[in-house]
Structure formats: C-alpha cells, structure tokens
Amino acid sequence: MSKQEALNEIRVIGLGINRDKDPDELIQNKIQDLLSQYFPQCEIVAFDSYEHPTVDLLDLDLFVVLGGDGTFLSAARLIHGLEIPMLGINIGTLGFLTAVEYLDAEKAFQLIRDGRYTIEHRHMLKTRFMADDVVEEFVAMNDVVVTKGSLGRIMNYRIFIDGHHATSFRGDGVIFATPTGSTAYNLSAGGPIVYPTVNAISMTAISPHTLGVRNMVIAGESQITVQVKGDVSSYNLSVDGQQNFNIDTNRTIEITDSGHRAHIVRLDGYDYFDVLRKKVVYKAQDTY
C-alpha cells in the first residue's frame, strides 16, 4: 500500500516551516504539540530549509507545511518524485493551496487520524534548456513563464506542441500553467481556470502584440518547445515565480509533464469552488 493510501500507518511526519512567518517558533511548537497528541506513535522532524534539508526525506510518510502558497510550492518541488502526501496549514496571506487555516489545525489532525480525507494528485511540469553545454532542468507545480527582460523590447515566440508548429506571436511573454497554477499568474494574464485534477497545460500569451492570438489548453502529456527570438540581449525564465533565470542567447526551452504528481491531502468537506470564491474572487474585490 502506498503512502498516499495509508496515512493511518504513518510513522514519520515532516514539518516544514516558513521561518519568516514564525520567527519565535510559537506556531511550530503548537503544531508539534498537536501532532504529538493526535499521532503519539509518530516521530516528528522539523526543518526550515528547502535548499539543504537536514532530514532524510525518504523516511517521511506525511509532510505538514506551515506557511502560505509560496512555502507550499517550495515544499512540493523539494519532495518531487517521493510520493509523499502534503498537508498545508496556512500562516501566510492567501493560502489558496493549503488545506486549512492555522486555527483549524487541530480539527485537521483529528480528521486525518479518523481517516476522513482524500488525496488529490496534482500535475507538475518539467522544464529544461541548455546552458554552457549543460542541461539545466527544473520542476514546477504552478507554472513556467518565459518573458522579455525588464528593459527589453517585444520578442517573438514560436510554440511547438508534440513537434507541430502551434502558434507564433510577438509580445511580452508566455505562461505555461498546470491546473494548480491556472489561478495564479495565468489568471491575471487572462488565462482560463482549470479544475485542479484535470491533466492539462494552459498556454497564455502575455500582452500579445499580434492580432488573433488565442490562449490554449492542451493535453498534460504534451511535449512543448519554445523558441524565443528578438532584438534584445536577454530574456527571463521563471519557475513557480521562485526560481528565476536570465538567458542571454536564443535557446530552445522544453516543457513536459514531470512524470510525477504532487499528492495533496484534502479533508472531508473540502469544496474547491467555495475556496475559489472566498480566496480568489472575494479577495480581489476586497482590494478595491
């Protein structure tokens, strides 16, 4: 039985923390106390570095993430391919990806202990390009974005899907988003909202200067190739908005299914559309 199917058999719980949001460790200590109460048989290991974690990730049966959406994305990339279920507890601002708010953490642990949860399997992307004769490769849970440099001119983008020329346009950039990332930058740029468990990739042009350009939703297994050309010295590649690279030559960027899924714990009673309305629609209205 896989880890995703047997949270009632967990032995080691990892606790990832955004230290900037809990500098005094008060929240961490509270969560650790609750985990010890509801899972007394488990070892709890806490760490706050997603670059060089001090624990053996292979030992984890459940990864509890304390932070906001950015922390959750970092955690998903960290355990990519390890098939470890993730439970997000929001101590950030938006918390669209997280399962519960901090004040509801005890209820969440009770539901997990009682087996009242499901596991969502979220699509992730892999992007690769050549840099100095070395293949650079990264994974994304939200999106891969190619844009012109901050002072650059409009650039030309040629998009190939499964080896076929799909579209070309001039503009500021292009977003390739998973369904998870469809409510992030993709949504702001006019792209579609895609239900999170659909196996698809959204392609959304950023400020296109070519008439008739249409955004696309393509199969999640598609092999995407991006060629960028323009009268500029460099352009940018962004992975989940957290890993950013300046590319100074005309390179080909490849984007594919990563081959693995992020496994997110969803508690009984979770309603995606209710969360969407409250945290995306209502939050946007509150800014006016």
Could you tell me if 273 and 193 are in contact, meaning their C-beta atoms sit under 8 angstroms apart?
no
The pLDDT of residue 286 is: 52
pTM, entire model: 0.90
Locate 217 and state its tokens. 């939703």
Give SS3 for 58.
helix
CA–CA separation, 63 vs 61, rounded Å? 7
The pLDDT of residue 233 is: 63
Give SS3 for 117.
strand
CA–CA separation, 127 vs 118, rounded Å? 29
Structural class in CATH, domain 124-259: mainly beta
Q: Which sequence positions are flagged as catalytic? A: 69
CA–CA separation, 213 vs 204, rounded Å? 9
DSSP strand pairing (85-90 vs 243-247): unpaired
DSSP strand pairing (85-90 vs 62-67): parallel
- For the stretch 95-150, pLDDT in tens is 889 989 999 999 999 999 999 999 999 999 999 987 667 788 999 999 999 998 76
Could you tell me if 169 and 157 are in contact, meaning their C-beta atoms sit under 8 angstroms apart?
yes
Q: Which regions of the chain are under pLDDT 50?
A: 1, 284, 287-288
HSE of 113, CA atoms in CB hemisphere, 13 A: 15
Q: Domain 3-116+268-286 adopts which CATH fold?
A: Rossmann fold (3.40.50)
Locate 219 and state its tokens. 């199969």
Q: In the chain, where are the structural domains located?
A: 3-116+268-286, 124-259
